[in-house]
Structure 1
Amino acid sequence: MLTLTFTAYDLTSIRFAFSPLREVAASVHALRTPAGRALHLPWMKHVRPKLTADLAPLLDLVPGGAYIPDFLCPIPASPAPDLAAELAALRALPDEVIRGDLDRMTSWPTCGPLEGAAADLYDDPPAGLPRLAEAVEAYWRLAIAPHWPRMRSLLEGDLLYRARQLAEHGPAGVFADMHPEIRWEDRRLCLEQRPEELSRALTGEGLLLIASVFVWPSLFHRTDSPGQAIITYPVRAIATLWERGTAPAPGALAAVIGRSRALLLGELDTPASTTELSRRTGLAPGSVSEQLTLLLAAGLVTKHRVGRVMLYVRTPRAQALLGD
């Protein structure tokens, strides 16, 4: 069992983020290792037939082993970075960083020797990095961009939820429902079924928690010293990502406050934007905004800005109206 032991300072240095480039890498890994990823099957069936040879600079770097090169899983510079900024940082990486990560990749028993475009990148990073960045952009347009508004809504909602849990309940609240392998006890974060030799006593570095769509149902971690400890965990409400349609509005409540407002409250078990609520419910964006304004005035929802997006979530008063 892997354990991370926190100082008092580390408890105040927990931060949350997501990373578009990590989603690219994790999604390729999901395509390579589809077993147990039933929730993503609709996406896989749509994307897999469209993969072409020009994506090899990316695909050859994620053969499906236990390690993904760290340069494809950057540390987010902000809670919600964009892909362009992460690709700019990728293009600027020194040769020794690229080769060091690829050496680490070949040292994992499940990865094997470098092949194809991965070997070319190792031999000539200055020539290979632009090709890799172009392949990432092409893959993004093909596999991620059509779904990114929904994915981003889930990711931003998760960041808001975790931050509220930390503020209201401390670390125990953050980790309580994060992943079955994660357990918090006595200033220690325990990861079941993970190598004990990667255990670590933090000394002020803090912990970075990165929400991810495609890491589900597992989690990624980087806890070796030096550097900040990082855990990439599955976003909440992942099962709703590929769903079509909406849940029915609670009948009795709809009769009192109206069907549209009851329908919106039913969807706000996780934070969501106006655009996302419009997609889920079929209501026009203007109508969603109007109904949310009324619910906000009645104290049934609250709103929070995350990056450039305003997210809404129902209040305990609304939860009491909805019942269990």
Structure 2
Amino acid sequence: MIEYELAGNDLGEVRFAISPLNELVLSLRTLRDPGRFPLQLPWLRATGPARAGLDLELLGALTNESLWTPDFLTPRPYTPLGRIDDELAALTGTPAGVVRADLAEIHPAMLPPVLLGRPDKVLDRVLATLRDYWEACFEPYWARMRTVLEADVVYRGRVMAQAGLAAMFAGIDPHVRLDDTVLRIRLRSDYSYRTSTAGRGLTLTPSLFSRRGSVPISPEEPPHIMYPARGLGTLWETETTTSPTALVGLIGRVRAQLLRLLETPTSSTELAVRLGVTPTAVNQHLRALRAAGLLISARHGRSILYRRSDLGDRVLRGA
């Protein structure tokens, strides 16, 4: 079990961040064991031809049978919305000792042949291969992936504001629990350590490639929890449930679907994923529905959440 002591004002330093590098590296788990990630099978099938031209031996060596990845490849993100170019560039200065130790941590018996050699040369090969992997398999899909991750952050922030920090932590994973000021993350292995977040804070990173909460292997790493993003099931699917015919004829298909979906407060980014349209198009429809009195909205942080008004409820019931 991993324990983070949230001391004093650190309770107010819990923050969220989205990391394309974390997603890129964690996705390697799906290549090793696709059966554990059934919701990502459409993406795996779509990117199969592109992966054929990659160094799959090296990519496969960056995980082990327990699906661990080297800590230096999944650093704690320091900006809310990271850029892959910046994150890869930041890794170029990783000390040789860190590279050697982190690779040995996931392959304690023996390093795979593809990871042998001078650590700086190995690092160069790893970063070049990850860049190729990003361009072939992530770049065409990242906008859609990021939308789901952003929607998760909005949702978690709403839970934290309405129900408190403990409820938010309980919601990200059943194996994560906040007891007073100690955050406990129960792992499948016997690996354990306890460390304080004092002066470092705690970063939460939603992921499309995590089945449960995960943390850095080393207690020396900054406190960081990667957890399964909410709404993963919507990533490769669009909303297909039909709306009442009379309502579609009155306000159009997309607006009728939006009205039906907005029983609870939801952001435009989450709605865009569910409907398979752009956030810009969704926002246009939302503004029109709000102007007609069918929706109400409220700002939550940098996002605006929408839900049906009483009038919208009556219109939907009538239809």
The interval holding the TM-score normalised by the smaller chain is: 0.7 to 0.9
The structural deviation recorded for 1:221 is: 1.4
Aligned to 1:208: 203
Instruction: Kindly indicate whether the alpha-carbon contact (under 8 Å) linking 2:166 and 2:178 is maintained by their aligned counterparts in 1.
Output: yes
Instruction: Kindly indicate whether the alpha-carbon contact (under 8 Å) linking 1:2 and 1:192 is maintained by their aligned counterparts in 2.
Output: yes
- Rounded to whole Å, the distance in 2 between the matches of 1:218 and 1:171 is 19
The answer on 1:83 being equivalent to 2:77 is: no
- 5+ long unaligned stretches in structure 2: none
Choose from 181, 184, 198 the match for 2:178: 184
Q: Structure 2 matches for 1:18-37, cutoff 5 A?
A: 18-37=18-37
Q: Deviations over 1:223-275 (max 9, x none)?
A: 7534432110011111001114433336787688664323124456653439x
Aligned to 1:273: 269
Q: Deviations over 1:96-126 (max 9, x none)?
A: 221121232233xxxx42113222xxx2233
Q: Which amino acid aligns with 2:74?
A: C
Distance 1:203 1:145, change over 3 A: closer
SS in 2 for 1:218: coil
The answer on 1:313 being equivalent to 2:300 is: no
What is the CA RMSD across the aligned residues, in angstroms?
3.4
SS in 2 for 1:79: coil
Instruction: Kindly indicate whether the alpha-carbon contact (under 8 Å) linking 1:166 and 1:174 is maintained by their aligned counterparts in 2.
Output: yes
Q: Which amino acid aligns with 2:305?
A: V
SS in 1 for 2:215: strand
Distance 1:273 1:305, change over 3 A: farther
Instruction: Kindly indicate whether the alpha-carbon contact (under 8 Å) linking 2:64 and 2:107 is maintained by their aligned counterparts in 1.
Output: no
Q: Structure 2 matches for 1:81-160, cutoff 5 A?
A: 81-107=82-108, 112-119=109-116, 123-160=117-154
- Rounded to whole Å, the distance in 2 between the matches of 1:223 and 1:284 is 38
Question: TM-score under structure 2 normalisation?
Answer: 0.81
Q: Deviations over 1:44-92 (max 9, x none)?
A: 2333453345344433222443421112102112011010001101122
The structural deviation recorded for 1:291 is: 1.6
Q: Which amino acid aligns with 2:307?
A: T
Q: Which amino acid aligns with 2:174?
A: P
SS in 1 for 2:224: strand
Q: Deviations over 1:7-66 (max 9, x none)?
A: 332211111112111111111112212233221122223334533453444332224434
Instruction: Kindly indicate whether the alpha-carbon contact (under 8 Å) linking 1:178 and 1:233 is maintained by their aligned counterparts in 2.
Output: yes
Distance 1:65 1:286, change over 3 A: closer
The answer on 1:6 being equivalent to 2:33 is: no
Q: Percent identity?
A: 34
Choose from 221, 241, 249 the match for 2:235: 241
Instruction: Kindly indicate whether the alpha-carbon contact (under 8 Å) linking 2:71 and 2:217 is maintained by their aligned counterparts in 1.
Output: no
- Rounded to whole Å, the distance in 2 between the matches of 1:283 and 1:203 is 40
Instruction: Kindly indicate whether the alpha-carbon contact (under 8 Å) linking 2:54 and 2:132 is maintained by their aligned counterparts in 1.
Output: no
Instruction: Kindly indicate whether the alpha-carbon contact (under 8 Å) linking 2:156 and 2:168 is maintained by their aligned counterparts in 1.
Output: yes
- Rounded to whole Å, the distance in 2 between the matches of 1:62 and 1:319 is 53
- Rounded to whole Å, the distance in 1 between the matches of 2:222 and 2:279 is 41
Q: Which amino acid aligns with 1:116?
A: P
- 5+ long unaligned stretches in structure 1: none
